[in-house]
Chain A
């Protein structure tokens, strides 16, 4: 009794999660590109492509629910299905953040360029790297790599804070005229929104890694400061 059919279904669920991960990563990369280059055309493709990612999320939920109800999975199989549902949810939210970033591209393309915010690029790099590594840890079920990503989250938080500090300085600095002040204010707000989206992407990547540890070893590495081992 090898449960070949069930194994096939599990494998297919895994492939769907991988496909969704690739789509969310691609959306994130393109969103960042559209933001950096103020490419509204590219931004639009991300917004319109989000529906497909949402459908994948629902499909993962449907298949998982069916496997739980009909196959009564146990142990590693059970953890994989629960983990797939949770990772699907994280990926869907990552794709939503990509859409948010893309929406900012439209704003920046209509505005005169202002001095760059230095740490936004560092934040982009670390968030993207965290997402790439989180997906890689998931496809390889590599808990060590997942733990590495979790540790990177502090960097993302630090850069987010730096971006915030920089834009505050930008806003409160003396401006020669009202239009420039207005531009600076808008620019600052949009930059804070983008940095917030990137910080969320790094948080959601961390969540994926926590699910990887759960699927692979059945351990909870999230919320470690809280004692949840009762009962």
Chain B
């Protein structure tokens, strides 16, 4: 099957000062599919996720070696505009973090930063993004209320709408449902299924059932190394390596 590769990661090492957090990671992230990163705390999965849109640049002592090619271009090259990169590779965090603004302004924020001022365009884009994030029906009558009045699940979907408004290619999700109740979690998972039609998604999750439910590809990290990566169904029913089997069956002592 000819599958387009969105990210091609080659020999990636990552350091926090002297501590090597990622060791020689090599993997491809296929386009318009969901790739889940799993592994115990401290295994490097979130560090890896943050490498994909250079969020780690914000940590002064961090350093990266190796290549991360986004559609063939190394995102760590000097000439790369990080703001532009983060527009292409959006991110949603564990805890919903809406701005203390209205629902409308939260979604319109990125568009305004990108110079869009036309009210009609803004309204259209905000509506589109809220529909894509399955929040429109909940908020269409209170777009100018504070976003902080939304429930946790709604706030997370608002953050997804905010990320989608600037039309990224890739959406990075760092445990996007870990702070949500089962119903809100279900909505996020349904949303991920819908979004992969148009976006490439990389998700970090501690919940293995969630990884199994939402992802097409799963990568297992342990102690900063990529241990095994493969089609999710195969990895969860017939992992190739004992270390993976031990982790997913809960035998890690």
Contact = CB atoms under 8 A, between A and B. Distances in A.
A77 interface: yes
B239 A75 contact: yes
A6 interface: yes
Q: Which 9 A-B pairs have the closest CB atoms?
A: A218-B238, A3-B250, A74-B248, A2-B253, A77-B249, A75-B245, A74-B236, A75-B239, A72-B209
Interface of A: 1-3, 6-7, 72-79, 217-218
Nearest to A218: B238
Given A1-B250, A2-B251, A73-B249, A79 B209 contact: no
Nearest to A7: B251
Contacts of B244: 75
B245 A1 contact: no
Contacts of B248: 74-75
B251 A79 contact: no
Given A78-B237, A79-B237, A218-B237, A3 B251 contact: yes
Interface string B215-246: 00000000000000000000011110000110
A65 B87 CA distance: 46
A69 to B, nearest CB: 12
Contacts of B209: 72
Nearest to B236: A74
B19 interface: no
Nearest to A82: B237
B249 A76 contact: yes
A196 B65 CA distance: 69
8 contacts: A2-B250, A2-B252, A3-B250, A74-B208, A74-B237, A74-B248, A75-B236, A76-B245
Contacts of B148: none
Contacts of A217: 238
A74 B212 contact: yes
A79 B248 CA distance: 13
Interface residues on B, range: 10 to 19
Contacts of A72: 208-209
A174 to B, nearest CB: 61
A74 B212 CA distance: 10
A77 B236 CA distance: 10
A75 B237 contact: yes
Contacts of A78: 236-237
Given A75-B249, A78-B236, A217-B238, 20 more contacts: A1-B250, A2-B250, A2-B251, A2-B252, A3-B249, A72-B208, A72-B209, A74-B212, A74-B236, A74-B237, A74-B248, A74-B249, A75-B237, A75-B245, A75-B248, A76-B245, A76-B249, A79-B238, A218-B237, A218-B238
Contacts of A2: 250-253
Contact of B238 (A3, A75, A77): A75
A77 B248 CA distance: 10
Contacts of A3: 249-251
A1 B40 CA distance: 11
A213 to B, nearest CB: 12
A72 B245 CA distance: 14
A231 to B, nearest CB: 11
A7 to B, nearest CB: 8
Contacts of B250: 1-3, 6
Which among B209, B212, B238, B244 has the highest number of chain A CB atoms within 10 Å? Answer: B238
A3 B251 CA distance: 7
Nearest to A219: B238
Nearest to A78: B237
Nearest to A80: B249
A72 B209 CA distance: 8
A78 B236 CA distance: 9
Which among B237, B245, B252 has the highest number of chain A CB atoms within 10 Å? Answer: B237
